[in-house]
């Protein structure tokens, strides 16, 4: 878990050209797994719940 945390901090520093990153971890079982990152007004949603939602939307469009 610590290795993943360090990789995430490195990624966010590179993406946002930041010197420091402060993470707040919140466990939300409704997300079904994955992670959701909020930076200012940007949201990076890598949750299982979001992937299921996008799959449902895709399947509905195909009908």
The H or E element containing residue 58 is helix 48-62
End-to-end Cα, the chain, rounded Å: 41
* Cα–Cα distance for residue pair 49/34, rounded to 1 Å: 9
At residue 63 the predicted structure's pLDDT band, cuts being 50, 70 and 90, is confident
Give yes or no for a contact between 49 and 32, defined as CB atoms under 8 angstroms apart.
Answer: yes
Largest Cα–Cα distance of the chain, in whole Å?
48
**1-55 residue pLDDT tens:** 889 999 999 999 999 999 999 888 899 988 899 999 998 889 999 999 999 999 9
Q: What is the pTM of this model?
A: 0.72
The DSSP bridge partners found for residue 59 are none
């Amino acid at each position: 878990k610590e290795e993943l945390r360090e990789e995430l901090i490195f990624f966010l520093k590179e993406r946002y050209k930041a010197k420091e990153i402060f993470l707040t971890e919140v466990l939300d079982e409704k997300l079904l797994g994955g992670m959701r990152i909020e930076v200012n007004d940007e949201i990076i949603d890598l949750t299982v719940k979001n992937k299921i939602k996008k799959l449902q939307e895709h399947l509905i469009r195909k009908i």
